Amino acid sequence: MEKYVISGGKPLKGDVTISGAKNAAVAILPATLLAGGRYVIENIPNIRDVTISLKILRELGASVRMLDRSTVQIDSTHIHDSFVSYELARQMRASYYFLGALLGRFGRASVSMPGGCDLGARPIDQHIKGLEALGAEISIDHGVVNAGCTQMVGSHIYFDGVSVGATINLMLAAVKSKGLTILENVAKEPHVVDLANFLNSMGADIRGAGTDVIKIHGVDLLHATSYSIIPDQIEAGTYMIAAAATCGDVTIRNVIPKHLESITQKLIKAGAQVDEYDDAVHVTRTGPVNKINVKTLPHPGFPTDMQPQMTVLLTLAEGTSIVTEGIWDNRFRYVDELCRMGANIQVDGTVAVVEGVQELKAAPVRATDLRAGAALLIAALVAEGTSEIEDIYHLERGYEDICGKMRLLGASIKKVVTADNELAKAL
């Protein structure tokens, strides 16, 4: 087991450079299966979810080569399989994108049911409804989703709820379908738009990404391409909140400020100062944290993946803030850990009442999922004394070199191997 040991109480200061977007990368990598050929993808984040996606591509027969630390070359000419094993699929949610991509390439796919963060129920009924509307026959046997179709045909699909995953999976499956596919009530997240741009650079005909309706004219042939992934909105937002929470002074580089607007607005209301530049934002805080209310919503609303980090900032507010989780039914599991650090938070279902406290106190805590881990790290940076965070593998699924980047900002953080692991190695 590995853990982070953090000595908190110091403001973060300096510059940090944001990596490529995790949620765009895990959609774009499977998309390289849609047409055989040699792809070059730049701004790939060095995180575990990307490593797993690349492993899946290799297992399916692609050749994968890192050209430098953030550029990967993928040759998907000789794909020999359409089965994604449980061993890999269970390690991340986005493994279900291989379903849409393999269906698009071969008309068949078998993908074990995905894993990922435990945020409550994570159904895939909208994915299945959409793929069936395109003509796929789907069955779930022993935890494996099997899909097959001789010819995918365009269709008009209205999603019952806004789903990032279903929107992306349907785009992947529909690009080579016959005729027109109309997707309504779709997700508008930046990574949905990034995937559409990537697919269009392969020769697809996708319009409307970033709005509620996406229209896809199926094409017979796609080709390999070169592409650079957008910066990670959530990684950027995490450093923005870390800067505000520690009374820091941080410039966050390689960002698209437009993607950060909902976070910027809430931070300003909470008392931080945020200056926007072309591809950077600068965050400081000198005054108190103001109480605010936050509700997570699909883009362009406040992102659910920033909810735990924002809650940490609000534990320091003067007064009571209300945080409402509008996407997931169980995304407050980290609150117990935060309360062990002195936070005063009552959770009732999907609503958290956050009573501001004078200070957070260092404590040993456990990351319950990826963004919960980021939130606890921010809390540890704020709290005087030494905190330890266990189960950091969650954090490393989605944050590139978070220790190194935080250290460059002056944080005292180190990663250590815990004794029980040493013992396990010795046995």
Instruction: Count the site residues for ligand UD1 by CB under 6 A.
Output: 21
What b/e string do you get for 272-307 counting C-beta neighbours within 10 Å, with b at 16 or more? Answer: bebeeeeebbbbbbeeebbbbebbbebbeebbbbbb
Residue 111: CB minimum distance to ligand UD1, A: 14
- The residue among 87 and 125 lying less far from ligand UD1, judged by its C-beta, is 125
- The residue among 154 and 165 lying less far from ligand UD1, judged by its C-beta, is 165
Site string for ligand UD1, 363-402 (x = CB under 6 A): ----------------------------------------
Residue 94: CB minimum distance to ligand UD1, A: 4
**Two tokens at 255?**
């960002």
Rg (CA), the chain: 22
**Two tokens at 328?**
């997931």
Between CA 115 and CA 371 the distance in angstroms is 16
Residue 331: CB minimum distance to ligand UD1, A: 8
Residues 80-139 that bind ligand UD1 (CB under 6 A): 93-94, 121-127
| Helices first, then strands: H and E counts in the chain | 15, 26
The catalytically annotated residue of 117, 149, 247, 403 is 117
User: Is 403 considered catalytic here?
Assistant: no
Residue 27: CB minimum distance to ligand UD1, A: 7
Residue 173: CB minimum distance to ligand UD1, A: 14
23, 43, 53, 225: which one contacts ligand UD1 (CB under 6 A)?
23
- The residue among 131 and 252 lying less far from ligand UD1, judged by its C-beta, is 131
Beta bridge partners of 341: none
DSSP 160-227: SS--HHHHHHHHHHHTTSBSEEEEES----HHHHHHHHHHHHTT-EEE-BTBSEEEEE--S-----EE
Site string for ligand UD1, 305-324 (x = CB under 6 A): x-------------------
Between CA 204 and CA 209 the distance in angstroms is 13
Residues 143-182 that bind ligand UD1 (CB under 6 A): 161, 163-166
Between CA 197 and CA 221 the distance in angstroms is 16
Side by side, which strands form the sheet with 412-417? 364-366, 385-390, 2-8, 412-417
Binding site for ligand UD1 (CB under 6 A): 23, 26, 93-94, 121-127, 161, 163-166, 187, 304-305, 327-328
Active-site residue set = 117
